[in-house]
Amino acid sequence: MSVVYVGMSGGVDSSLTAALLKEQGHTVVGVYMKNWTKDLPGMKCPWAEDLADAKRVAVQLGIDFKVFDFETEYKQKVVDYMIQEYRLGRTPNPDIMCNQEVKFKLFLEAALEDGADMIATGHYARVEDGQLKMAEDSTKDQTYFLYRVTKAALEKTLFPLGEHKKSDVRTMAAERGLYTATKKDSQGICFVGQIGIREFLSEYVEQTAGPIIDTQTGLTLGQHDGAIFYTLGQRHGLDIGGGLPYYVVGKDMDKNEVCVTTNLNDSQLWQTTIRLGGVHWIDSPPEPGEYHVRVRHRGTLVKATISFEDNNVRLDVTQPERAVTAGQSIVIYDGPVCLGGGIVQPL
């Protein structure tokens, strides 16, 4: 059996992951990745509590436990990236960048150097023959967040929860008496906890008021407190009273303008052709043709024809997709196999 370093976040998923691997006969070492410890106004970062919970489970299981400090690298590679993308008017996904740069790169490298044969996490996904496959529980599948992980990293990774349903995971954790069996899943920004992106960004960017413009009439309807805080398709938080609801259909970061409309059929809200940059393939690039794509986490799989244009990928979807936003990721599948994906480019 292997020496497996398990990324333990203090939640039920990673706790059960460690328990299952130990039961399978592996030598398991629990590792808490210390990525972010900064408190924000009105929000205490839960890292210390999460670390304590992970330690408690390690003691319960009788496994060694370590802390790997990646806070400096995390700030540079994940947080700074996210802030810069928002400043440019795009909508990034920090969870995807965290997996690419921290969990399946820094953590993997540090674990192997420390004596591990493999690493494991509590992600709902499967790896078979170096291929990344969707989890058995389609409602919890997390391959969307893993599409930028390399094949080499996947070959050194175990995902024990990929074969289980989330409801069963809690039951299995309770049966084993794990301390975290009833702990709620974390929400909000991956590294901060129960806080929205607006509140987080407010700590790092200047809030500058600007006009909200109706694209149908050209009239200024009100003021916003920073175009950076708004994203395509957004309806709430505009504070424009009366009449039909308004939707964000664009923004000009240089002018600090947010453009809105009441027209749900506005062409800026719907796309049938999408171009992806920053493309990453887990294995070799697929042949041009028809595949399935996921435009956002938990979005339904839709058919799309893939073609290649220079360094970009062109997707022609069979039905218009709403609010496809520059900076977000689209992930490509061939049956249950996650092939890779890319980042939506501005129109």
Q: Give me the active site residues, please.
A: 98, 190
Cα separation, 131 vs 129, in Å, equals: 5
Cα separation, 130 vs 133, in Å, equals: 9
User: Cβ neighbours of residue 90 under 8 Å, at least 6 residues apart?
Assistant: 325, 326, 327, 328, 346
Q: Which two tokens stand for residue 196?
A: 């929205």
Name 133's bridge partners: 126, 337
Cα separation, 12 vs 183, in Å, equals: 7
Nearest in space to 66 (alpha carbons), one of 106, 110, 19:
110
Mapping DSSP to helix (H, G, I), strand (E, B) and coil, where does residue 134 land? strand
User: Cβ neighbours of residue 146 under 8 Å, at least 6 residues apart?
Assistant: 99, 104, 123, 125, 132, 338
Q: Say if residues 260 and 280 touch (Cβ distance below 8 Å).
A: no
What DSSP state is assigned to residue 279? E
Amino acid at 116: A
Please provide residue 340's backbone torsions phi and psi, each rounded to the nearest 5 degrees. 145, -150
- 219-222-228-229 Cα dihedral, nearest 10 degrees: -130
